[in-house]
Amino acid sequence: MLETLFTDENRMGFKVSGHLDAKELDDLYRAVEGALADFDKTHLYIEVGDYTGFDAQFVASNLHRSFALMGKLSSFGRVAVVADQPWLRRAAKLESALLPHIAYEVYPLADRDLALAWVKGESGSPHQPALSIIATDRSDLVAFDIAGRLAAADIHRVAQAIESALAESPKISLLARFTKFEGMDASNLGDADYLHMKWSLLGHLDRYALIGAPHWLAATAQGASILIPGQIRAYAACAEDEAWRWLNAKPLDTQHNKSVQARSHDLAQNDA
């Protein structure tokens, strides 16, 4: 079934569920083709419910329409796919990587409102910041929390914090808390701020604590100590307090202790 959620000039949204028949597919084609013909940019929101398939015969007989749309990729603006099915999310992310000139984002259903606001132009950013700086009682410590996929703006944020700390102290420490790490855009590896941040830490890193980091990332960071001298330790999420003690620091967030205790309790229960 195809449900039209909204149509606002060059912004349109649809919800897909069940099986898409020939008429519904034709309606979808016509809506997108019409917008592409009338506007320089077309922004599209697609929400996927309990989707079971489509009329393959219709798609096969309308390949010329699909190829015509492929020829107008530069006319697509913001495209958001909202779905919880793992296979659909993986397919959408692969498609996004293959279409680098389109602002293509994939969201879980829980972030539906965020996706809608972005497609409609009500929000300038497709996602909430994945990295936030944690205030601490030490000026020579840069602590940050990662919850999501790191974008260029997140890299810039932590790079500026490190630069400010180095301006006050020749040696600094780092603490990275991985609440929900979803990777990093590959393009950021060549970002000027990212490279400058790595270079500036040479000879200036005292201690680096990673909390809840994926095993491969913790191993990579510890291996990097060959190039960036300094003590690097990885801690499980339930051992966050131990990491803060090792750094001889405390977070200034008054809710920190409660959240750490709750998280530690949950992890202990899961391990039991």
Q: Which of 112, 126, 125 is nearest to 15 (CA)?
A: 112
What's the CATH fold of domain 131-271?
A: Transcription Regulator spoIIAA (3.30.750)
pLDDT of residue 201: 76
46 in helix, strand or coil?
strand
Instruction: Report pLDDT digits (tens) over 176-230.
Output: 999 988 887 665 565 666 676 766 777 788 999 999 999 888 888 777 666 667 8
Tokens of 64: 């010329």
Measured over the CA atoms of residue 243, residue 246, residue 251 and residue 254, the dihedral's sign is: positive
**Architecture of the domain whose range is 2-119:** 2-Layer Sandwich (3.30)
* Per-residue pLDDT reduced to its tens digit, 29-75: 999 999 999 999 999 999 999 989 899 999 999 999 999 998 898 89
Cα–Cα distance between 216 and 55 in angstroms, integer? 43
pTM of the model: 0.58
- The answer to whether 41 touches 75, Cβ cutoff 8 Å, is yes
Instruction: Quickly list H helices, 12-143.
Output: 22-38, 56-61, 63-70, 86-98, 112-119
Q: Please determine whether the domains at 2-119 and 131-271 fall in the same fold group of CATH.
A: yes
188 touches 157 (CB < 8 A):
no
Domain boundaries, the chain: 2-119, 131-271
78-122 per-position pLDDT tens digit: 999 999 888 887 887 777 666 767 788 888 898 899 899 999 998
